Structure 1
């Protein structure tokens, strides 16, 4: 790949992100602007922003590479990523918005009236957001190395610095502009080179025939994926989407519950449409890069245009794809840092603009440090494990908290702690033992299928054996979040004593 063209593409997307962030800064003045964009994000704009932050490194780079390596078995990955939004729409979006919360810990405290549950939710949210930022920075490092020939750390540092600047200057309102625009840029950055590659293949002898044969079974594909692993992975991706703090934070920005539901209706359409693009890259990679291996798979999208198109066109289109990849890292990292800063500032700083800004700086610096001292593995696999943790902690609390009035604070806390501990323990044991774990290796590698039901069961069992606290308050809260015509006015931010005014 032409390193000059790649570097130019990366610099252009970085400059555009900074310009958009600086321009939108003039709209960010209040605490509500920084935390929830003053709850003024309209459905199409908000849905585009969700697509911008949700379609991260695993979607832009990882899906295509995994399809090239695993063939048809990998088609379930984009299905899982998309299907989670349908459940989010049906069970969470509108009630969550009507709770009038700023963050997941705010929702937990409003629902349970318990500072302990709030703290557990805050810790879990920080763990999810913090660990999710790291693969984005690893993806940026890979992109800079492949596209521009620069040291990998420069990509991670550039993304962390630009995101920190954007978040500190404008908060949620600023990144709403950035994420919405970057979603459509990502679509164009993948679709435009794909169209050129398709035209080039039409002019080649046997070009289309090679594509049509790409999904035929090749050596190494004869072994089907473990049914358990497939089911567990799908459960992690579908349910894990519901509990991602940075995705849920975007629904707090809707003007009302109806807008949140309309936003949730649009998002699956945008996400499903986008996934047709990396899937197409995966098919082309399978046809024309048959030697690709798991360790090289994440770079497939960056390498393919330069491979299929000679000279300047190939280099230029590879640079466009690289710029789109960088926009994915920027958009997702922005959403994660905003969600992380919101929680950190509420729990450890003053709940004001200055506290939010300091929390954003600390969050950006700490996640960058972790990324620099850890090695990159498969982006899809890393993200799938984060989704499993989300599915076993936040999701049971949200689903039962919204739809089951009998859920008690002790039940919610016990379920989140147990679910998170099971997932982390399983992954640690699997990392240590690997394939020597024998018949339980699959259970440890993909724990969602048993950890998520266990978390639900513990929440229910502990709630049924513990005394409900303040049933009248819980009944008022449930009426509030389930009445379609019930919309609260925007309220002032939380005081330091953890009460709302």
Structure 2
């Protein structure tokens, strides 16, 4: 293991140790309310930091920069959607959700509609969403370890999974609130430093992306192709290859004419300085096209964008770990304040990660060849500063920030999943929460070891589609429409969730690579979200007689200010049980 790898490993271990120490400081009283709602004692700034730290996942830290590197302006809807989702949550459900007194979406469903069956349906989808969302976090940890140290990816997957499960099991939400706030600022610093340095080098180089030419290798570059890939070139390219290219074994120099070329896994490609960069087929070949929407063509690009917007704008309010954060605010006003501050913190983060993605096209062009664009942020420091001590130190800081992204998001997700398992499957004791956390953590570890990885932002966008198709309609209609019934909510969640989960499964399996069907499988929200809302409304109207008798009283509690004394805090009404 070289010096850069040792520095990165040292930074990752340091993050884990400091996070553990901060978490240990956060454990004051060891009662059920500490584990579930952090005893509702966090201030606005700390709470907003925890929200931001938990929300900014592998998709945010690595995936968005990778998509910007590969797709250009077409990828900008991801950071816009992920940020605007919090605005929708702030406007529609943040304060009423806090006043409901519930902790999980299952609690809210039962409190609003009084149905044990609906609660079980919600529990199933909390588990599905939690595990689907943890999956790319663990895979991101594996990619980080493999990129910075050369170790197998499964080492990072297992290490991250074990650390997260143990931390949550013995700390609870009160502990990880402080940890996640600390990790937000670490992630922001890990992005700000390379962004400032890379921008200074970029401005000094007098380089522009607005030109009808492909990117170029600034130095002789060797690329190891790990998976079969189809590369596209806009101009002749001189390359030296060892492996299989266009179905023919080669060992020496080649001249690629403009067009598509198939490169099989295990092939090594060598490019001279100044050579045009081939890109994975489907991505913009020239820099000018990289700055132009839908430059790669395709007849359904606009439909895919609309579906992505729908999923990211509405999916945030359906994510269980995000919802759980608003239950921990002291009151509805604090929930709104936390959401507003979090919006600013998220905006600053996404500006930096988008800038890094754009600069990576200049300093890490080899990723456009290998297709491993998710590693752009990790490799940018050495791409700018080289492999000397400065690049090594900066690379270690970035690796530490990436590792904290996986830890913070996964810990929140596991807390949500464990909360549901402990209250709906086990007996709800603090000891049961520990058992549920270990059970909840084992499933995504196994999945991460066997499931083929998509781009991080792509896979998370699919999770957002499932959330937007299930809990978003339940919460919006449950908070704002008195006509919702338990049967309507159940059918809406089942229909919307089945369509979205089916599409996610088909996408992960590689079905529907092109055409309208491929777009709808890859971006199901444009179908599944309206279908879920429509199903809830139609079935609720058909079963209007089943509307709960206390609907008006419940809605009054959701919308009335706390000073009237109508809201309740379900977890705090239960006797605090001390952990054994």
| TM-score normalized with structure 2 length | 0.81
Kindly provide the CA deviation profile for residues 350-372 of structure 1, in whole angstroms up to 9, marking residues without a partner as x.
Answer: 11211111101111122212212
2:187–2:402 CA contact under 8 A, matched in 1: yes
Matches within 5 A, 1:277-292: 277-292=352-367
> Do structure 1's residue 148 and structure 2's residue 149 form an aligned pair?
yes
Which structure 2 segments of 5+ residues have no match? 216-286, 576-580
Native 8 Å contact 2:113 2:548 kept in 1:
no
Q: Distance in 2 between matches of 1:371 and 1:217?
A: 35
Mapped contact 1:32–1:493 kept (Cα < 8 A): yes
Aligned twin of 2:323: 248
| Distance across 2 between alignment mates of 1:219 and 1:265 | 31
Structure 1 window deviating more from structure 2 (69-78 vs 370-379): it is 370-379
- In structure 2, how many angstroms separate the alpha carbons of the residues matched to 1:450 and 1:484? 36
Q: Work out the CA distance in 1 between the residues paired with 2:514 and 2:367.
A: 28
CA distance in 2, matches of 1:265, 1:93: 11
User: What is residue 244 of structure 2 aligned with on the other side?
Assistant: none
Aligned residues: 492
Which moves more between the two structures, 370-379 or 217-226? 217-226
Larger Rg: 2
Separation in 2, partners of 1:88, 1:57: 21
Aligned to 2:140: 139
Please, which of 270, 288, 297 is the counterpart of residue 216 of structure 1? 288
Q: Which has the higher helix share?
A: 1
The answer to whether the 8 Å contact 1:186/1:327 transfers is yes
Partner SS, residue 472 of structure 1 = coil
Report the Cα offset of residue 375 of structure 1. Answer: 2.8
Partner of 1:174: 175
Shift of 1:328: 0.3
1:305 pairs with 2:303: no
What is the deviation of 1:219?
A: 11
Alignment correspondent of 2:346? 271
Deviation at 1:170, TM superposition (A): 1.7
Where does the alignment leave 5 or more consecutive residues of structure 1 unmatched?
497-501
Counting only pairs closer than 5 Å after superposition, residues 435-474 of structure 1 correspond to structure 2 as 435=512, 438-469=515-546, 471-474=548-551
Q: Are the structure 2 counterparts of residues 208 and 252 from structure 1 closer, same or farther at C-alpha, using a change threshold of 3 Å? A: farther
Partners in 2 of 1:179 and 1:139 — Cα distance?
18
* Aligned residue among 424, 434, 444 for 1:367: 444
More strand by share: 2
| Aligned residue runs from structure 1 range 180-191, under 5 A | 180-191=181-192
Deviations 1:199-233 (A, max 9, x none): 3445x5xx242467686335997325600001001
Does the aligned pair in 1 maintain the 2:61–2:405 contact within 8 Å? yes
CA distance in 2, matches of 1:208, 1:138: 37
Q: Give me the whole-angstrom Cα distance separating, in 2, the residues matched to 1:218 and 1:370.
A: 34
Of residues 380, 384, 391, the one that matches 1:314 is 391
Pairing of 1:50-89 with structure 2 (within 5 A): 50-89=51-90
Matched, 1:295 2:297: no
Deviation track 1:1-30 (CA, whole Å, cap 9, x = no partner) reads 8111111111111111111122222x1411
Contact 1:52 1:332 in 2 (8 A): yes
In 2: Cα distance, 1:271 partner to 1:47 partner = 10
1:260 aligns with 2:258: no
How far the C-alpha of 1:492 sits from its partner, in A, is: 5.1
Tell me, in whole angstroms, the C-alpha distance in 1 between the residues paired with 2:502 and 2:452. 21
- Which residue, out of 6, 21, 24, partners 1:4? 6
Q: Distance in 1 between matches of 2:160 and 2:14?
A: 13
Contact 1:210 1:287 in 2 (8 A): no
**Residues 407-436 of structure 1 deviation map (CA, whole Å, 9 limit, x = unaligned):** 000000000000011112334455667347
Q: Are the counterparts in 2 of residues 351 and 493 from structure 1 also a CA contact under 8 Å?
A: no
Aligned residues of 1:80 and 1:238 also touching (Cα < 8 A): yes
Using the alignment, how far apart are the partners of 2:509 and 2:14 within structure 1?
Answer: 43
Are the aligned partners of 1:164 and 1:364 in contact in 2 as well (CA < 8 Å)? yes
| Structure 1 residues 319 and 258, CA gap change in structure 2 (3 angstroms) | same
Change (3 A) 1:111 1:224: same
Residue 235 (structure 1) aligned with residue 236 (structure 2):
no
Find the residue that maps to 1:2 and give its secondary structure: helix
Q: d(CA) in 2 for partners of 1:242 and 1:219? A: 31
Pick which of 442-451 and 89-98 moved more. 442-451
Deviates more, 1:162-171 or 1:245-254: 162-171
Question: Aligned partners of 1:42 and 1:329: how far apart in 2?
Answer: 24
Counterparts of 2:477 and 2:136, CA distance in 1: 30
Cα offset for 1:79?
0.3
Give me the whole-angstrom Cα distance separating, in 2, the residues matched to 1:323 and 1:458. 45
- 1:456 Cα shift? 0.3
Deviations 1:333-358 (A, max 9, x none): 01001011000101111112111111
Task: Compute the displacement of 1:288 (Å).
Answer: 2.9
- Tell me the residue number matched to 1:499: none
Please name the residue that 2:279 is paired with.
none
2:364–2:379 contact (8 Å) kept in structure 1: no
Greater Cα offset, 287-296 or 257-266: 287-296
Summarize deviations over 1:444-472 as a string: whole Å, max 9, x none.
22110111001100000000001343643
Residue 166 of structure 1, CA deviation: 1.7
Query: How far apart, in 2, do the equivalents of 1:185 and 1:433 lie?
Result: 36
The alpha-carbon distance between structure 1 residues 212 and 232, as it changes in their structure 2 partners (threshold 3 A), is same
Match of 1:417 among 494, 498, 511: 494
Q: Deviations over 1:49-83 (max 9, x none)?
A: 01001000000000011001001111111000001
- The residue correspondences of 1:115-130 to structure 2 (distance < 5 A) are 115-130=116-131
- Residues 1:50 and 1:219: Cα distance change in structure 2 (over 3 Å): closer
TM-score by length of 1: 0.93
